[in-house]
Structure 1
């Protein structure tokens, strides 16, 4: 007896009189499914999930749970089929992030890092470090950005494991460390990284204690400091940068850099392209008033021939509300003129951002043109 092994099953489509075989339906599914989308379209889709900001001075120590969604989704999709795995695996492990908490909703102030949130980010850091260095070392080449929150919980052991993990990631370009801020943090960090060199890192964003890493990242070109807005901490960070990184191009702070320290800084860091914020006023001890720095202290900025972006800040010590910018007219005029005179290509953009309580003003120009106030100001420092 002869059997017909060909399936007689037919799948009817919405058009009368036309039948589609299972093989045709499978082929059509492949052409119209998620893996068939162009990589550019997939990237556009994933861009709608928020990402941990890079080098943002006002970054919190912990990020809310919404920042976990992109990585979770990417890693889940890599497990669905071979096609998606090949496309999305590098994206899923491009960022190693242990700075968000599942139960921390958006808008909630950062809680103590010594409690359950600190334990959560510590556990997540150790989990991801184990995956990319022990369970599946082939993932290590994909990691380009590392953003982690470090706490005092088991600090010595965690810092050492973190340093070991970083030493095994050959392509990391950006390193961000949030948190720290506890007694002995700088010492523990220095010991953990004593024998570690990370030559691929170009962008570093850290709290004040992060200066302990400077000898481990010799090729840094971009540094941002989080937290610690006290003037002493800012000066300490600036001195450390000048000592270790004479070729740095971008230097940003959460606090304000004293204008009186600019003379030394502009001598030591001649290749700066972006700097700030520079404080135009200062706190007068035992007084409810503020002092205004002399505009002449800003003249040394003219040494920075490559400068393109300068941030100025009026702290408004002892005052409140919007400050009277007329008091700083000469400061702003001088900085705009210095930036205008800096050698530049005709279409090269230059920018001065002036931030004070209640408002932000942005001045923009190209080449050696005068800088004019932008119509739509962005209230952020970026």
Structure 2
């Protein structure tokens, strides 16, 4: 009887299915090259960004009506949209890429949950958040709007932290001061002395915070949300802010009109804050708008 052959029989390999993380083989290989297509992500992150923004538009946020009303602080409801955006940006990579920039576009320290000792709550929060933001270089380019409430509480400790934060924001274009204590003019003048914020184009602030406007040489749009705005106009003239194109919320007198003339020719629009609607009477070549007080 002849000896058995030691050659092993070859059998056809059975294909084994494997997970390929979203890549499916659609056609058999041709010329040694497999034709494959990437399947898009499914589920909640696959929704269109427009749909996300439409849903988020129903969440409460800080509006100009709040800022122009000049309250001491804003209610906790104004943080709903920001909280939702930051939560979404920490869910997954897809949502982070969509919403991290929007979540940090506005840096706001003006919201107090219950109003108890609001000046202390906002002051301590401002120092903590400003120092934390400065230590987060990946977030600094995202911030474009800063909204704050300024109080006399520990100004020597809190205002320097705010100034340092503002100077570190390369894309900051809007500064909004919801409220500032009437007796902190000197403290603001000291804190913002020799400070330059050339990226700022829009400013909303009360008259008692007029020393801040001197630090914004490139400002174009100025709105006063408290008092007649005479101190703001004086600071604009003294600070050489001659690129202003729009001023709103002022109640001009003859003296203020003469000061405003020094800001020409770039000044194009003036919104006058009065208790009764009046006709335009300021000597400027362009249109002047009059707005009744709310």
Shared fold per TM-score greater than 0.5: yes
**Mapped pair 1:207 → 2:220:** no
Partners in 2 of 1:176 and 1:87 — Cα distance?
Answer: 26
Map of 2:148 onto structure 1: 148
Partners in 2 of 1:300 and 1:76 — Cα distance?
Answer: 49
Q: Deviations over 1:222-264 (max 9, x none)?
A: 11112235xxxx32332332343222111112x5223664344
Return the offset for 1:170. 0.5
Return the offset for 1:267. 4.9
Map of 1:304 onto structure 2: 285
Q: What are the within-5 Å matches in structure 2 for residues 68-83 of structure 1?
A: 68-83=79-94
Aligned partners of 2:251 and 2:272 also within 8 Å: yes
**Mapped pair 1:275 → 2:270:** yes
Aligned partners of 1:271 and 1:304 also within 8 Å: no
Q: What are the within-5 Å matches in structure 2 for residues 1-382 of structure 1?
A: 30-33=41-44, 35-54=45-64, 56-104=67-115, 116-134=117-135, 136-183=136-183, 185-229=184-228, 234-243=229-238, 244-253=240-249, 256-258=251-253, 261-277=256-272, 279=274, 299-301=281-283, 303-305=284-286, 307=287, 310-311=289-290, 353=291, 355=292
Partners in 2 of 1:209 and 1:67 — Cα distance?
Answer: 25
Aligned partners of 1:242 and 1:269 also within 8 Å: no
Partners in 2 of 1:130 and 1:57 — Cα distance?
Answer: 28
Aligned partners of 1:172 and 1:200 also within 8 Å: yes
Return the offset for 1:91. 1.1
Partners in 2 of 1:216 and 1:261 — Cα distance?
Answer: 21
RCO greater where, 1 or 2, for CA within 8 Å and sep 6 or more? 2
Tell me the secondary structure at the aligned position of residue 223 of structure 1.
strand
Return the offset for 1:193. 1.8
Tell me the secondary structure at the aligned position of residue 88 of structure 1.
helix
Gaps of 5+ in 2: 1-15, 19-38
Tell me the secondary structure at the aligned position of residue 268 of structure 1.
coil
Return the offset for 1:148. 0.7
Return the offset for 1:221. 0.4
How many residues matched?
Answer: 257
Aligned partners of 1:149 and 1:177 also within 8 Å: yes
Change (3 A) 1:235 1:69: same
Change (3 A) 1:103 1:300: closer
Normalized against structure 2, the TM-score is what? 0.77
Partners in 1 of 2:148 and 2:107 — Cα distance?
Answer: 8
Gaps of 5+ in 1: 8-26, 105-114, 282-292, 312-352, 357-379
Partners in 2 of 1:69 and 1:94 — Cα distance?
Answer: 15
Normalized against structure 1, the TM-score is what? 0.60
Return the offset for 1:63. 1.0
Return the offset for 1:275. 1.1
Change (3 A) 1:268 1:168: closer
Partners in 1 of 2:110 and 2:275 — Cα distance?
Answer: 34
Tell me the secondary structure at the aligned position of residue 86 of structure 2.
helix
Tell me the secondary structure at the aligned position of residue 217 of structure 2.
coil
Aligned partners of 2:179 and 2:206 also within 8 Å: yes
